[in-house]
Amino acid sequence: MKKTWMWPQTSINSTTVKHDIEVLTEIEKYFCNLYAPYKVVYFSRARVALMAISKVRNLSREQLTFVQPFSSHCVLSSISYQSTPTTTQPQASDQQIVYHQWGQKTEVNQNNYKNVLVEDAVDSIILTNEKSELFPNNAPFCVISLPKILPISVGSIVICQQNDDYQKLIAQRLAMEIDIGSSLENINFLSFQEATLQAKPCLVPIIKESIQTLFESSVSKIQLNLVYMRRVFSELALTCENLNKRCPSNIVIQTSK
């Protein structure tokens, strides 16, 4: 059976990652403008962002944090850094993470999800600053993984509802920095990649175009793909509402089709 990677895929190595405060500033500025008045903080990885969020919100080992069943290892390990992940009974947890799978919006039952901490929009392309799209469950944070929506190697953004959380995340990112020297050669070894990106949460992707150009190109590509799919698979009657607000990164189709 043919294996297909579900997102853009760019290798992580010393030729695709670098230290560059100007690129970091460009990324934050672009998304701050796009999602204004909400502020945006950049991290090298979405999993590093989750660790920082757990820290600034003072999560602790005795607290249960609900995550989706069958969540990836990176989500489980990031949450277990500060609290204890659970995949059952969200109503019995202290806080919850809601996953908006493949760009689709998930709105949960507030009776069961009483304290949503993160809108995990990891592979969502959100085109609007509307609260109902960025924070549909009123979580204080929305996390997006840039390599899942753009053809770049690393990076994530955290969109903050409150300025106080924004300021704390900036301080926490600085506190997470570890001196590992200026060389990035270790990132070429798979066993050292995640440790390097965690130790240097400000590492950025090497990009040849502006972040705005890359973002707009991804939006255009998805819209063209949808037109193509509607033409080739007309019997599926594919509809994607609110394309001016968010784009799906993947569409599920039955194997029989």
Report pTM.
Answer: 0.93
pLDDT under 50: residue ranges of the chain: none
The pLDDT, as a whole number, for residue 80 is 94
Residues 99-135, buried b or exposed e (16+ Cβ, 10 A)?
bbbbbbbeeeeeeebeebbbbbbbbbbbbeeeeebbb
Tell which CATH classification among 3.30.420.40, 3.30.300.350, 3.65.10.10, 3.40.640.10 matches the domain 17-247: 3.40.640.10
Sole residue written with tokens 């997470």:
176
How distant is the alpha carbon of residue 157 from its chain centre?
6
Q: Distance between CA 218 and CA 156 in Å, rounded?
A: 16
Is residue 197 a contact partner of residue 45, using CB atoms and an 8 Å limit?
Answer: yes
The pLDDT, as a whole number, for residue 252 is 74
Q: Distance between CA 80 and CA 74 in Å, rounded?
A: 10
- Helices 163-176 and 46-56: crossing angle in degrees, nearest 10, is 110
What distance separates the 2 farthest-apart alpha carbons in the chain? 57
**Which distant-in-sequence residues (6+ apart) come within 8 Å of 197 by Cβ?**
12, 17, 44, 45, 48, 154, 187, 203
Structural element, H or E, at residue 96: strand 95-99
Q: In the numeric block, which tokens belong to residue 241?
A: 């509402």
